[in-house]
Structure 1
Amino acid sequence: MTSVVRLIRSDSLADTPYAYAATAPAGSRLIFLAGACPLEDDGSTTAPGDYAAQAARCVETLRGALAASGAALTDVISTRVLVASTRRADLVTAWNVVEAAFGSHDVPSALLGVTVLGYDDQLVEIEAIAAVQGD
């Protein structure tokens, strides 16, 4: 199934590893996903202290939530990646995992360093909005 999401780029803006904007046609069904957290099936936090492993688990969780909604990563229209750190290197570590997962579907994204996230030992969370053909 082809995604309804259209990524928008601009030659007049700085070159970035993500699109500057995205649209979906009228009549699309929007899916607002809860923040994907790095939680194991037993509720424990994945790999305390490991930004990359937690980002990977967040992507896995995001994929599952999208599938349950009838969507896939290619249907995501925007993301917000939250990283509990004041170190740019930690943010980049998490971002690199997310960027690799999305591949050429480089949706508009925000990468934010935050002071704390909701679960014990949680370092990464990914919020997303997706768009699919209207039902």
Structure 2
Amino acid sequence: MTTKITRINPEQLHETPGYHHITLVETGRTAYLAGQCPLDRSGSLVGPGSIEAQVDQVVVNALAALTAAGAQPQHVVRSVIYVRSDDRDVLGAAWLRFTASALGPAFTSASTLLGVAQLGFTGQLVELDLTATLPD
């Protein structure tokens, strides 16, 4: 049995830059990933001061977590990106880097991009929260 994922953009709602307003999952199991941070395997922050380097590390970590759960980017049904900035250009740059990465298919589902005042680790600029449906 295959999990059916349907992504919808109602015509009454605004156009999106690639994500869908609604993601429906008909059946299956769900994986909730902890917020993926720009930390390497030893727990050290990667790319202090560089949103690009931090996004790249978060992508590596998120792909590893999805793989461990038995999922791939196209199985993501919800994402929340947290960026430590109130600058729309910085938020947009993070969005574009994520969507252009190997994790890009994850961001075609329901997605939220937030600018926040602080994240959990000193120097952390980005964090990613994913929910995925698991294929049978």
- TM (norm. structure 1) is 0.89
Quick one: structure 1 residues 103 and 76, their matched pair in 2 at CA, closer, same or farther if it must change by over 3 Å? closer
Give the equivalent residue in structure 2 for 1:25: 26
Corresponding position of 1:73? 73
Summarize deviations over 1:54-89 as a string: whole Å, max 9, x none: 112111111100000000111000100000111111
Where in structure 2 are the equivalents of 1:41-56 lying within 5 Å?
Answer: 41-56=41-56
Amino acid at match of 1:113: G
Equivalent position of 2:126 in the other structure: 124
The structural deviation recorded for 1:42 is 2.0
Retained in 1: the 8 A contact 2:8–2:22?
Answer: yes
What does 1:5-24 align with in structure 2 at a 5 Å threshold?
5-17=5-17, 18-24=19-25
Structure 1 match to 2:113: 111
Root-mean-square deviation (CA), in Å? 1.7
Which residue identity does 2:37 align to in structure 1? C
For 2:107 and 2:87, locate their aligned partners in 1 and report how far apart those are by CA, in whole Å.
Answer: 27
Distance between the aligned counterparts of 2:119 and 2:45, measured in 1?
12
- Aligned structure 1 segments of 4 or more residues deviating by more than 6 angstroms: none
Matches of 1:13 and 1:79, distance apart in 2: 19
Count of aligned positions: 132
Amino acid at match of 1:114: V
Q: 1:60 to 1:3 in 2, by over 3 A?
A: farther
CA drift of 1:12 comes to: 2.4
Q: Which amino acid aligns with 1:132?
A: L
Gaps of 5+ in 1: none
1:34-67 C-alpha deviation (Å, 9 max, x unpaired): 0011111221111011112211211111110000
Q: Report the residue type matching 1:98 in the other structure.
A: F
How many Å separate the matches in 1 of 2:72 and 2:42?
A: 24
Query: Which one-letter code corresponds to 1:30 in the other structure?
Result: T
Q: Answer yes or no: is the 8 Å Cα contact 1:4–1:75 preserved in 2.
A: no
* TM-score, normalising length: structure 2: 0.89
Give the unaligned 5+ runs of structure 2. Answer: none
Deviation at 1:105, TM superposition (A): 5.7
Aligned equivalents of 1:53, 1:106: Cα separation in 2? 22
